[in-house]
Amino acid sequence: DIQMTQSPSTLSAFVGDRVTITCRASQSISTWLAWYQQKPGKAPKLLMQKASSLESGVPSRFSGSGSGTEFTLTISRLHPDDFATYYCQQYNSFPYTFGQGTKLDIK
Amino acid sequence: QVQLVESGGGVVQPGRSLRLSCAASGFIFSNYAMHWVRQAPGKGLEWVAVISYDGRYKNYADSVKGRLTISRDESKNTLYLEMDSLRSEDTAVYYCARDPRGSGWFSVFEYWGQGTPVTVSS
């Protein structure tokens, strides 16, 4: 199985800050990587696929990059609505696997 | 709009069975692969199973292989997860999710239901 490791596990930031979350795969997954946002008690929401392709309706302050084994999710200027837990997911091969999550909370 | 509504969760004893359902609406159900993804309390996300648009292809996480069975009924626009020989480690919120495509390969989870909780406990 491909292991996905996110860092950091928790991140505290202010509204307006720029933040970056890193996701590393245990083997190359090309750009078969997605990012999700999950708020407490809610289902995850797909933000991005193919490492950098933003889903319709997702604000442009979200961006993604990377290929192979290292990927990043950047939020350019944090809004209050962005405080949530973020997961990466590889879909290069079965079983599809997720990172352990990065909880982004307000400082 | 796309809607996925799970049901069937509850409290069940170890070794017993449970069937989850996911009613789909707002799209042509028979065109898309469907998945189950679960989340144990306070934990991250775990992909469980996939079924292709026509039901011919299925795949499972090793942790559930042989105990959980995914199926679909096109006439009812409903996805199922038959859960047998349940264990305490199956305790989780179970989400159904729609694939953007039909095959189930190279899949992301484009739309999600609200989830149904399953607790396996004596």
Please judge whether B95 and A43 are an interchain contact, meaning their C-beta atoms are less than 8 angstroms apart: yes
| Mean pLDDT, rounded, for A43-55 | 98
B72-101: string of b/e by CB count within 10 Å (b at 16+)?
beeeebbbbbebeebeeebbbbbbbbbbeb
Do B35 and B96 form a contact (C-beta atoms < 8 A)? yes
Q: Cα(A11)–Cα(A89) distance, rounded to whole angstroms? A: 19
Q: 3-state secondary structure string, B14-72?
A: CCCCEEEEEEEECCCHHHCCEEEEEECCCCCEEEEEEECCCCCCEEECCCCCCCEEEEE
Q: Cα(A15)–Cα(A89) distance, rounded to whole angstroms? A: 26
What's the gap in Å between the CA of A98 and the closest CA on chain B? 6
Where residue B108 falls (left for φ over 0; alpha for ψ -120 to 50; beta otherwise) is: beta
In A, which residues are within 8 Å of B106 by CB distance?
Answer: 32, 91-92
Q: Cα(A18)–Cα(A75) distance, rounded to whole angstroms? A: 6
pLDDT confidence bin for A89, thresholds 50/70/90? very high
Identify the pLDDT of residue B104.
87
> What is the number of helices (H) and of strands (E) in chain B?
0, 11
> What is the number of helices (H) and of strands (E) in chain A?
0, 11
Q: pLDDT digit string (tens) for B36-90?
A: 999 999 999 999 999 999 999 999 999 999 999 999 999 999 999 999 999 999 9
Which residue of A5, A96, A97 to mutate against B (max B Cβ within 10 Å)? A96
Task: Provide the token pair at A86.
Answer: 């973020």
Whether A41 has a pLDDT exceeding 90, the answer reads: yes
DSSP string, A81-95: GG-SEEEEEE-SSSS
Residue B88 three-state SS: helix
Q: Cα(B55)–Cα(B82) distance, rounded to whole angstroms? A: 15
A-to-B residue pairs, Cβ atoms closer than 8 angstroms: 48
Whether B116 has a pLDDT exceeding 90, the answer reads: yes
